[in-house]
Amino acid sequence: MSYELTVLTTEQKEKFETEGYLIVNGLFSDEELEEIMVTFEQISEQTIPGHFEPDWSPDTTDVLKRYPRVMQPHRFNETALKYMLHEPVLQVLHDLFEENPLGAQTMFYYKPPGSRGQALHQDNFYLKVEPGNCIAAWMAVDPADEENGGLLVVPRTSEHEIVCPELADDNESFTKHLVKVPQGKQIIPAIMKKGDVLFFNGNLIHGSYRNKSKDRFRRAFICHYAGESTTRIANFYSPLFRADGTRVDAEANPDGGPCGVEFDSLYPH
């Protein structure tokens, strides 16, 4: 499938190109959101080796051990695959890539009350897309704001090179890598309504703080994409998927990247 229709305005495309991110609403119907919520609620009651491995022990003190993120659900769940290839999202991505997009990754975050955030980072450090870059489509299943640990972005860092990270504070971040905010740049919250989709460039610095709410989950369905001209990607993300569900095998970008193997994540983004 190839998309010719332009769905973004000139102003929206300029926003993405200059700021590195763009929020688009109306890409999912209420029925589609309900299907996604029900699907991942069912997954949350299972153990799926290599994808979702919760700790069921009653004395677990880390809520993220009971509700870890679901990794690559499109590889075992048809609903996740369907919504990775959701046509309205792919149409926006076609406008942003200026070529057909390929699905590379899916994740689902439950982020229950009290759970740690994710330290600031850059996605293409992990995906290693070449040539070009990856783009994320981060869909808010619940309203996301500063209280429940919504996403944080650092505007105008999308043109920055990939930075070798430092160690994050594991009291506040469940991931181990931290990219510091460049001088002169500011962190801002991406306030999102249920069903909004945040698109952002693979070099944009972003992350999240702890969910400080008492009773609000911050669920999110997150996908990453590469353009069809991609020839290399980190091995974890292959095969890629066209809009019609056919697979594309890209050459594996070797471990290590620009920062050496000691920086490779134990838990790929």
Q: Determine the pLDDT at residue 214.
A: 96
Q: Which three-class secondary structure state does DSSP give residue 91?
A: helix
In a domain, 52, yes or no: no
Nearest to 159 by CA among 7, 258, 18: 18
Residue 206 and residue 22 in contact, taking contact as beta carbons nearer than 8 Å = no
Domain that holds residue 219: 15-42+61-263
In a domain, 5, yes or no: no
The tens digit of pLDDT for each residue in 249-261 reads: 999 988 655 666 5
Q: Determine the pLDDT at residue 266.
A: 44
Q: Which amino acid is at 23?
A: I
In a domain, 51, yes or no: no
- Residue 182: how many other CB atoms lie within 10 Å: 12
Distance of CA 67 to the CA centre of its chain: 17
The whole-angstrom separation of Cα 72 and Cα 70 is 7
Residue 54 and residue 65 in contact, taking contact as beta carbons nearer than 8 Å = yes
Nearest to 82 by CA among 221, 210, 213, 266: 221
Residue 176 and residue 170 in contact, taking contact as beta carbons nearer than 8 Å = yes
Residue 66 CB contacts under 8 Å (≥ 6 apart), including other chains = 54, 55, 56, 60, 112
In a domain, 158, yes or no: yes
- β-bridge partners, 105: 224
For 223, the token pair is 């996908």
In a domain, 97, yes or no: yes
**Extended strands (E) in the chain:** 21-24, 70-71, 101-109, 118-121, 134-140, 151-153, 166-167, 177-178, 188-189, 197-201, 206-208, 220-227, 232-234, 240-241, 247-248, 251-253
The whole-angstrom separation of Cα 20 and Cα 124 is 13
Q: Determine the pLDDT at residue 1.
A: 53
In a domain, 180, yes or no: yes
How do 251-253 and 232-234 pair as beta strands?
parallel
Question: Which whole-number Å values give the CA distances from 238 to 71, 96, 268, in the listed order?
Answer: 13, 22, 13
Distance of CA 99 to the CA centre of its chain: 20
Q: If the chain, 269 residues long, is cut into consecutive pieces of 10 residues, what is the mean pLDDT of each piece?
A: 70 97 96 98 98 92 95 98 98 97 98 96 95 97 97 95 89 91 96 97 97 97 97 95 96 72 53
For 123, the token pair is 């996605």
The tens digit of pLDDT for each residue in 208-245 reads: 999 999 999 999 999 999 999 999 999 999 999 999 99
Q: Determine the pLDDT at residue 228.
A: 97
Q: What's the length of the chain?
A: 269
The domain that holds 237 is classified in CATH as 2.60.120.620
Q: Determine the pLDDT at residue 61.
A: 86
- Residue 38: how many other CB atoms lie within 10 Å: 11
In a domain, 144, yes or no: yes
Nearest to 240 by CA among 77, 73, 105, 130: 105
How many structural domains compose the chain? 1
- β-bridge partners, 48: 52
Q: Determine the pLDDT at residue 264.
A: 53
Question: Which whole-number Å values give the CA distances from 148 to 41, 200, 238, 248, in the listed order?
Answer: 19, 21, 32, 37
- Residue 53: how many other CB atoms lie within 10 Å: 14
Q: Which three-class secondary structure state does DSSP give residue 90?
A: helix
